[in-house]
Structure 1
Amino acid sequence: MEAVQVSRFGDPNVLALADVPDPAPGPDQVAIDVTHAAVGLVDVHIRQGLYKDREGLPTPPYVPGLEVAGTVRTVGARVTGLTVGERVVALPSMGSGGYAPIWVGRESQVVSMEGFDIDPALAVAIVPKAIMAHIGLTRAIRMTAGQSILVHGALGAFAAAFPGIARQLGASRVVGTVRAEKLSTAAGTRLPYDAIVDSAQLPEALGDEKFDVIIDPVGGAVRTNSLALLAPLGRLLLVGNASGDWNHGVDGNQVWYGNHTVTGFNAGEYIPAHPDAVKPAAEAALKAAVDGLLDTAIELLPLAQAAAAHRRLEDRAANGRIILVLPER
């Protein structure tokens, strides 16, 4: 099959089409005929070599891509919950293989979309992220109805899943933050935010408002300044570091004085260790998508333009999720 392959760690030019063997599923695995593959910031970071020493992540040559949608092609001997031809979307894992016509992964990573009228491009763009957001909100910090939520990097791939799931869980108010250059895009979003403000103008942009829960996929100064925006007994959920700034932190004395909780949620590690969390989260995510709570912006590019997609993410030029469309087989 013809897939996009990373030949070595480096800039986007290391992404190129190549002939690679068709993968076959093992006993507990599922093979998917891929129609759409999401391009994520983690794909960029792995390709750049930022995680080259982390155990379990791919090294060149490899096919990147962690989230796909399509139909079940074949199943392994011990797979019982999925059938050939079923419409599915796959959760990300520590593996790879998404920028290809055939993807293989564990049955526990694959979610059926049968019975839900969801476009596959939207499904791969947001349903896996919404599943992770549901698990983060219900398990990592145990959000309850009536609480207020602040989401940093409000339009980002992962962040965009949180307002809809928070609404579904009964949030009283959901506010987002973005960089100043994203404010015009934010004004047209269909995601269920009450307001979106300039992150550089915090805390002044929010007056005296405090939040029960803050979601931070950004890191850096945004993370450092978040404690001042937490209500007493508030919780800060760390879900990423898109800023790439590893030198900022949080003040332990502020955490102590405000009775705050700071929790890390690494879905790639959490979900394999808690597979029982996936089914209820998937049901919630699929319903949220059907109900229009996850209506994020999507840009479609052909598979052959994977390098261009990576450049757009590196240049912070993407407005919403970039999805690669696979040629019909």
Structure 2
Amino acid sequence: MQAVQATAFGDPSVLEVVTLPDPTPAAGQISIDVTHSAVGLIDLFFRQGRYKDVAGMPQPPFVPGLEVAGTVRALGEGVTGFTPGERVVTMSAGGTGGYATVSVAPAASVVSIEGSGIDPALAVAAIPNAAMAHVALAHVAHLREGESVLIHGALGGFAAAFAGIAKQLGASRVVGTVRGSKLAAAATTKLPYDAIVDSADMLAALGEERFDVVIDPVGGDLRTQSLDLMQVGGRLIASGNASEDWGHRLDSNQLWLRSIAVLGFNSGAFLPTHPQFVRPALEAALEAVAAGLAETVVDVLPLSEAAVAHSRMEERAVDGRIVLATGV
């Protein structure tokens, strides 16, 4: 198979197109002929070596890529409910292996899009993230019908999935924040936000409005400022650190003074210990995408341009998601 391999930790130039043996599915797994692979922030962190000293994290050489779309190639022992040639979307095993023409994933993390009419580029860009958003909102934030939600980095690859899932779960109002340079793109988005404001001016823009749930994949000072926008009993989900402010700290006294909660959500840690949530989340995500609740912008590049995709991600020159296509 053809694959893009991180040959070392470093800048995007370490990504090289190589030829590797085709992987075969073990028991409980499915191998997939990949048509599209989404580029995520976690791929950049793995390539940069952010987690190189953490046990179990990828070490060079490795093939990045968490989310893939394609057709079923072969079924591992014990796998039922899928047919070779069926169109599917999945999150790969271990968060790697997606930038390739063949990938392997646990059957439990695979969902069929056969007959759905969903474009595979949108499917891989939206369904896995929407599934993770469903888990975060339903089982970590415990979002209740009628509550309000604030989403930072509203157009970003991961954050964009939260708006539709929040609406699907019955949120009464969903507001997003973006950097000022993204306001023009926000004005034309098809994502189901009730409003999107400049994150640099959000306290003034939102006035007295307060939220039950805040989704924060950005971090840094924005996380601290978010405490001023939370209802009593509100829950902030720290779901990333796009700001790359790794030294940021919150004043824990503010939590009991305001009677609010800050919770973390990392799907790589949460889902393996809560596997019962994966299948319902994938089905909810498929339903949300089919209903048009996740119409994020998707930019498709050839698999061979993975380094270009990573450079654009690092330069924040992306609205929505970048997807790598094997057949381009």
TM-score (norm 1): 0.97
Moved more, 76-85 or 14-23: 76-85
CA contact (8 A) 1:227 1:250 kept: no
Which residue of the partner structure matches residue 289 of structure 2? 289
> Is 2:192 aligned against 1:164?
no
Q: Alpha-carbon deviations, 1:189-234, whole Å to 9, x = none?
A: 1101111111111311211111011000000011111111101111
Q: Tell me by how many angstroms 1:77 deviates.
A: 1.3
Which residue of the partner structure matches residue 238 of structure 1? 238
Matches within 5 A, 1:292-307: 292-307=292-307
The residue identity in structure 2 corresponding to 1:280 is P
Q: Tell me by how many angstroms 1:79 deviates.
A: 1.2
Matches within 5 A, 1:305-316: 305-316=305-316
Separation in 2 of the partners of 1:217 and 1:141? 14
Which residue of the partner structure matches residue 184 of structure 1? 184
Q: Alpha-carbon deviations, 1:119-165, whole Å to 9, x = none?
A: 11000001000001011111011101111100001011110000100
> Is 2:16 aligned against 1:25?
no
**SS of residue paired to 1:241:** coil
**SS of residue paired to 2:182:** helix
CA contact (8 A) 1:92 1:268 kept: no
**SS of residue paired to 2:96:** coil
Separation in 1 of the partners of 2:81 and 2:246? 41
Which residue of the partner structure matches residue 224 of structure 1? 224
Separation in 2 of the partners of 1:252 and 1:6? 39
Q: Tell me by how many angstroms 1:94 deviates.
A: 2.7
The residue identity in structure 1 corresponding to 2:179 is R
Q: Tell me by how many angstroms 1:114 deviates.
A: 3.0
**SS of residue paired to 1:197:** strand
Which residue of the partner structure matches residue 175 of structure 1? 175
Moved more, 93-102 or 210-219: 93-102
> Is 2:80 aligned against 1:64?
no
Separation in 1 of the partners of 2:92 and 2:103? 12
Which residue of the partner structure matches residue 34 of structure 1? 34
The residue identity in structure 2 corresponding to 1:300 is V
CA contact (8 A) 2:92 2:106 kept: no
CA contact (8 A) 1:38 1:68 kept: yes
CA contact (8 A) 1:15 1:306 kept: yes
Which residue of the partner structure matches residue 49 of structure 1? 49
> Is 2:280 aligned against 1:280?
yes
Which residue of the partner structure matches residue 155 of structure 1? 155
Separation in 1 of the partners of 2:166 and 2:221? 24
Q: Tell me by how many angstroms 1:83 deviates.
A: 2.2
**SS of residue paired to 1:305:** helix
Q: Alpha-carbon deviations, 1:223-251, whole Å to 9, x = none?
A: 11111110111111111111110122222
Q: Tell me by how many angstroms 1:21 deviates.
A: 1.1
How large is the Cα RMSD of the aligned pairs?
1.2
**SS of residue paired to 1:94:** helix
Query: Between Structure 1 and Structure 2, how many residues are aligned?
Result: 328
Which residue of the partner structure matches residue 138 of structure 2? 138
Separation in 2 of the partners of 1:179 and 1:216? 14
Structure 1 residues 92 and 152: alpha-carbon distance in aligned structure 2, compared to 1, 3 A threshold:
farther
CA contact (8 A) 2:109 2:279 kept: no
Structure 1: tracts of 5 or more residues without a match: none
Instruction: Report sequence identity in percent.
Output: 58
CA contact (8 A) 1:56 1:95 kept: no
Q: Alpha-carbon deviations, 1:289-321, whole Å to 9, x = none?
A: 111100000001011111000000000001110
Q: Alpha-carbon deviations, 1:62-96, whole Å to 9, x = none?
A: 11111000011001112123221221111255331
Moved more, 66-75 or 199-208: 199-208
**SS of residue paired to 2:94:** coil
Moved more, 104-113 or 193-202: 104-113
Which residue of the partner structure matches residue 98 of structure 1? 98
Separation in 1 of the partners of 2:48 and 2:327? 26
The residue identity in structure 2 corresponding to 1:307 is A
Separation in 1 of the partners of 2:209 and 2:301? 40
Which residue of the partner structure matches residue 327 of structure 1? 327
CA contact (8 A) 2:213 2:230 kept: yes
**SS of residue paired to 2:55:** coil
Q: Tell me by how many angstroms 1:272 deviates.
A: 1.5
Separation in 2 of the partners of 1:287 and 1:52? 37
